[in-house]
Structure 1
Amino acid sequence: MGDLIYRKSSRSMTGESCVEVGNSPKAIYIRDSKNRQGAIVKFTHKSWGEFLKGFSM
C-alpha cells in the first residue's frame, strides 16, 4: 500500500475534512484525509461496488 495513490473527490471542498480513495488491482482502500497515517478501510472491488449502489438510490 505504500505506493498506492489516493484521490479525493472533485466535489470535496478545499478543506481537509473528507476521505481519500486508493485503488489497487486487488482492493479499494479508504482513509481519512486528516489522518493519513491512521486506520484504513479495505474493500474488495465487489463489496465497494455494492457499497456505492447504496448511494445511487
Structure 2
Amino acid sequence: MSNVEFRKSSYSGGSNNCVEVAETPALHAIRDSKTQERGPLTFDRNEWRAFLNEVKRGRL
C-alpha cells in the first residue's frame, strides 16, 4: 500500500479525527491520519460496500 495515494474521507466531516481512504483495483484501504505508521485496514469491494452501507445507516 506504499504506492497508493490516501485522501481524507468525506465521512470525516470537519473534525480533527480524520480517516483517510485509498483505492486500488482490488482493495480499499482506510487509516487514521494521526497514526499512519500503524498501517491501513484493507477491504475487498464487497466488504467495503457493506461497511459503507452500515455507516450510511448510522450503525457504525
TM range (shorter): 0.7 to 0.9
- CA shift, 1:9, in A, is 2.6
Higher helix share: 2
| Runs (5+) with no aligned partner, structure 2 | none
Question: Which stretch of the first structure deviates more once superposed, 38-47 or 6-15?
Answer: 6-15
| TM-score normalised over the length of structure 1 | 0.79
In structure 2, the residue matched to 1:51 is 51
Task: Check if 1:31 corresponds to 2:31.
Answer: yes
CA RMSD for the aligned pairs? 1.7
Which residue number corresponds to residue 4 of structure 1? 4
1:10-39: CA deviations, max 9, x gaps?
Answer: 453273x21100100110111110011213
- Alignment: residue pair count: 56
5+ long unaligned stretches in structure 1: none
Kindly, what percent of the aligned residue pairs are identical?
34
Q: Where has structure 1 moved over 6 Å in runs of 4 or more? A: none
